[in-house]
Structure 1
Amino acid sequence: CCSSRYQQGAFMHLLLILLCLQVSSAVLAQLYSIQMTSDLKSTMGHLFYQYNGVHSQAPGSSAVDVVQKRLQCCGVQNYTDWLKTASTSWHLLAENARVPESCCKEKYSVCRGELHQLEQLFQEGCLRKLEDHDRLVFLGIFICPTFLLKPIFAWLCGCISVLRVVRGSVPVWGLSSSCLCECCWCSGRCW
């Protein structure tokens, strides 16, 4: 396999393909990230707009509560988004305006989401945290596989170099050809 006359040309083509894969992965990841951010913002805005209280069994409301608890966030951009949701009146029923209890930090067991106790609430929005999480996922899906191919290409390069030394096209002082042949196991024989 490594003894082909055209091995260097083939290797260069493989490196070129790897470079193209990396560039296209980066472009695709960026495009999907932009689209994902737009979709995520509209979906989250819709879910937060339809939220109807902590004790609701509606799937959208429970999803909002789960996201806010797990990501330790509150609202889409930040906690003040709950004051802008005019269609929902659950947060204005008490004397003080409030946010869902899922915005409360766990260490405060008596937190009821009241805005005059901001130290008990998560203040960062959920959109940014979800975007950061999704960027890591895209990085893993698109870019990491191309980096995993690099050791394979490095091994091929080493194999080609060893064969060149063994064949005598590159002088190496102090190394016997039998030692070099053992380094390249892809051919299975010495020259």
Structure 2
Amino acid sequence: MSTGSSKLIILDRDGVINEDSDEYVKSAAEWVPLPGSLEAIALLNQAGYQIAIAANQSGLSREYFTINDLHAMHGKMDALLKPLGGRIDSIFFCPHQDSHQCDCRKPAPGMMKEIALRYKKIDKIKPLTGVPIVGDSLRDLQAGDVMGASPHLVLTGKGEMTLAKGGLPEGTQIHADLLAFTNTLLENKVKT
């Protein structure tokens, strides 16, 4: 299967795959998967989906953790996924804070543009049309929506608070968690 024709799903990390923390997830020891999230990723992989993570990681520029700490967190995630038959195909992250006014910090679309280029989705004005983006915050969904991705809110992490605030992109589908999204997608009940 070529990269251009593959099925792709974009996931936020904190609050979708692993527990979130207002004090930031700063180490592999603090990186704790949410129940069912790793199994969900494995199911998606086994159904032919590639998984790209797009995560704001301003803790890097705030010096709460180092790039080596971030790699250790992702190494732990990979190690826990492997026995389940799961994998993450690519990880994109923004190390900046809002005050840096970069193009990569969600809700800005920079990471989504990079994902579109990596997966050769460059033939349309909205190159991520039909690609689900799963997040627990409004900024996750807005970043994908501007590029045509179909927005999916999970109620883990900050999801319930995000839902209560409203203002979600048109067509946002709501799921209890990543496993619920996966089960709905694989039962062909998700609109892409």
Same fold (TM over 0.5): no
TM-score by length of structure 2 reads 0.22
Q: What TM-score results when the alignment is normalised by the length of structure 1?
A: 0.22
**Computing the radius of gyration over CA atoms, which structure comes out larger, 1 or 2?**
1
Structure having the larger proportion of residues in helix: 1
